[in-house]
Chain A
Amino acid sequence: EAQVTQNPRYLITVTGKKLTVTCSQNMNHEYMSWYRQDPGLGLRQIYYSMNVEVTDKGDVPEGYKVSRKEKRNFPLILESPSPNQTSLYFCASSLSRAGLANTSPLHFGNGTRLTVT
């Protein structure tokens, strides 16, 4: 089954304790992206990747890192989490840029709810 898999689904951590949220897709997609979703703010892009070893900042990259060493994986790293990073995070992928090709929609994972205390 074609899917984007995020882990964990729920995570509670403390300020300053490094964490990684994993994202993997099995569709051989070139494009991957991370979003955070906050009430009243919708989805905002954190980072995106056009292909292996190619990553770039989105709207809200501060406090986050990403890497794209393999095509299928795009982990999100919080080196020193803070309470303002408490949010619902989504990973997404598409065959080409951000679902903008007519035959390549953006596929989303089921989300990771992160709480930083």
Chain B
Amino acid sequence: AQSVTQPDIHITVSEGASLELRCNYSYGATPYLFWYVQSPGQGLQLLLKYFSGDTLVQGIKGFEAEFKRSQSSFNLRKPSVHWSDAAEYFCAVGAKGSGGGADGLTFGKGTHLIIQP
């Protein structure tokens, strides 16, 4: 079964500093990988996704992520964070269900990003 680990529950970054959020996955085949952001009181919004091809993917809001198969990682990065980036971030891996369990996305437990002025 697939799984996703986000090792950091909370991360605090100063405004203007760079950011890296870690994500490790376990999946038997080539994974579909996603990063979602959840702002307070909102649903989840897709930041970026990896399906195949170039291992460095660009997303919205200036985010990027790099797929590293050898490390089973898909870390999210941003060169310079803004106060509006404060949110909960979820990494997810795609699964192909067979009707006997969860179908679609398996989510990590999330990383709460705090931006210091």
Contact = CB atoms under 8 A, between A and B. Distances in A.
B69 to A, nearest CB: 18
B109 A4 contact: no
B43 A108 contact: yes
Interface stretch (A13-21, A35-43, A72-80): A35-43
Interface string A25-64: 0000001010100001111110010000000111100000
B117 interface: no
A18 to B, nearest CB: 25
Secondary structure at the B interface, as helix, strand, loop or mixed, is loop
Interface residues of A, number: 28
A110 B42 contact: yes
B63 interface: no
Given A42-B110, A90-B44, A110-B42, A56 B105 contact: no
B90 A110 contact: no
A105 B107 CA distance: 15
A99 B46 contact: yes
A98 B104 contact: yes
Nearest to A33: B104
Nearest to B1: A59
A102 interface: yes
B99 interface: yes
Interface of A: 4, 31, 33, 35, 40-45, 48, 56-59, 90, 92, 97-100, 102, 105-106, 108-111
11 contacts: A31-B104, A42-B110, A43-B107, A44-B107, A48-B97, A56-B103, A90-B43, A98-B95, A102-B49, A106-B105, A108-B45
List of 10 A-B pairs having minimum Cβ-Cβ separation, nearest first: A98-B104, A108-B43, A42-B109, A43-B107, A59-B102, A45-B102, A108-B44, A105-B46, A42-B107, A58-B102
